[in-house]
């Protein structure tokens, strides 16, 4: 009789203990899971790295005020166009943090082979994707699409779609922000057309192959380009040839760029009587530039063009 009682008590105690153990595991598992999900949702950051200034500004507008999205411009500071930029160890370290790398594409980033070799799994978003490229007299494709506002609009849309595809949680916000920015860009383009379309003599000389898209959009006629390789001063023979060409065509307006020396421009102006103005291809800018910096630069370009063309109408 005693043995049966002890066995019964032991059986009930074992069942109770088993139930407590199961309940304890469930509680602990539930708490741990909730904690992990909470930490992930609060602390997860989507990091976007951009290749250089104009793409950075476009992407900044697309991100807007989204929380938990970090934007880093890889080539900061940068003194000229990106053509011959060499990747540094610090750049590759920056890209290690990237969930997506936004580039202009169209051959602008000559270092992409090295990036892909180092980070083959990295999501690369190409702003110039699907855009028909202009070619120079040698058949070389021109990557300076963003200098045209129409080109900038297409690049913004491409970036937004690329980010939406790679970061689905924020897809709707990316598209909405891009639409708002595109409307502002279109307003600036319309303003520039109103000011420039009626002008007759729009013959100019530029100092870099940055402006063909811009010229096409606003009807400018680029008679000659001084520096085929940006930042490379023309030789004495090339200068003499340019001076002769400018005298022959009667071009009175030379447009240099704020990113480069104006020495050659001043020499040509002295020999031909032409006037030198600065036109910004928006290839570089201040660190942590404001979201409206591209539009402000284009508005400044408009003021320069209007003032310059007054001299030749």
Is the pLDDT score of 245 beyond 60? yes
Residues 173 and 208 in one domain: no
Q: Which residue has the higher pLDDT, 242 or 277?
A: 277
* Position 36 pLDDT exceeds 90: no
Which pLDDT belongs to residue 231? 59
CA atoms of 41 and 39, how far apart (whole Å): 6
Domain count, the chain: 2
pLDDT of residue 12: 54
Q: Are residues 185 and 81 in the same domain?
A: yes
- Whether residue 100 lies inside any domain: the answer is yes
Contact at 8 Å (CB) between 154 and 145? yes
Examine the domain organization and report whether 114 and 248 are in the same domain: no
Minimal CA–CA distance to 97: which of 46, 53, 164? 46
Tell me, what's the pLDDT at 211?
A: 97
Looking at the structure, do residues 88 and 142 belong to the same domain, yes or no? yes
Range of the domain at 135: 46-191
Residues 112 and 235 in one domain: no
Both 135 and 230 in one domain: the answer is no
Residue among 57, 142, 159 nearest 107 (CA): 142
Segment 95-112 mean pLDDT: 96
For the chain, the distance separating the N- and C-terminal CA atoms, rounded to the nearest angstrom, is 121
Check whether residue 75 and residue 137 sit in a common domain.
yes
- Please report, for the domain that includes residue 133, its CATH number: 3.40.50.1980
pLDDT at 178 over 60: yes
Provide the residue count of the chain: 313
- What per-residue confidence (pLDDT) applies to 34? 34
Confidence of residue 229 (pLDDT cuts 50, 70, 90): low
Give yes or no for residue 37 having a pLDDT over 70: no
The predicted-structure confidence for 257-300, as pLDDT tens digits, reads as follows 988 878 888 899 999 999 999 999 999 998 889 999 999 999 99
* Residue 223 and residue 90 in one domain: no
Which pLDDT belongs to residue 208? 86
Residue 113 has pLDDT above 90, yes or no: yes
* Average pLDDT score over the chain: 87
């Amino acid at each position: 009789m005693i043995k049966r009682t002890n066995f019964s008590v032991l059986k009930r105690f074992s069942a109770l203990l088993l139930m407590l153990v199961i309940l304890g595991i469930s509680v602990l598992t539930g708490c741990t899971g909730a904690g992990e999900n909470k930490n992930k949702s609060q602390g997860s950051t989507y990091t976007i790295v951009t290749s250089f200034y104009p793409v950075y500004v476009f992407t900044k507008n697309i991100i807007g005020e989204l929380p938990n999205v970090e934007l880093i411009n890889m080539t900061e500071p940068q003194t000229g166009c990106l053509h011959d930029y060499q990747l540094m160890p610090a750049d590759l370290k920056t890209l290690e943090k990237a969930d997506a790398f936004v580039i202009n594409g169209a051959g602008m980033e000559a270092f992409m082979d090295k990036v892909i070799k180092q980070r083959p799994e990295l999501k690369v978003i190409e702003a110039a994707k699907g855009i028909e490229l202009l070619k120079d007299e040698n058949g070389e494709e021109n990557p300076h699409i963003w200098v045209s506002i129409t080109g900038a609009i297409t690049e913004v849309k491409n970036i937004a779609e690329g980010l939406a595809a790679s970061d689905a949680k924020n897809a709707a916000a990316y598209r909405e922000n891009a639409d708002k920015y595109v409307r502002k860009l279109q307003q600036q383009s319309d303003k520039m057309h109103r000011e420039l379309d009626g002008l007759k003599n729009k013959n100019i000389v530029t100092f870099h192959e940055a402006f063909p898209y811009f010229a096409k959009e606003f009807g400018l006629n680029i008679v000659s380009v001084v520096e085929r390789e940006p930042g490379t001063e023309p030789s004495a023979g090339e200068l003499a040839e340019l001076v002769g060409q400018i005298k022959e065509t009667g071009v009175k307006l030379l447009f240099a760029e704020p990113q480069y020396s104006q020495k050659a421009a001043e020499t040509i102006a002295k020999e031909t009587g032409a006037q030198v103005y600065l036109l910004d291809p928006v290839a570089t800018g201040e660190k942590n530039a404001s979201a409206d910096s591209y539009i402000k630069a284009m508005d400044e370009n408009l003021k320069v063009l209007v003032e310059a063309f007054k001299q030749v109408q």
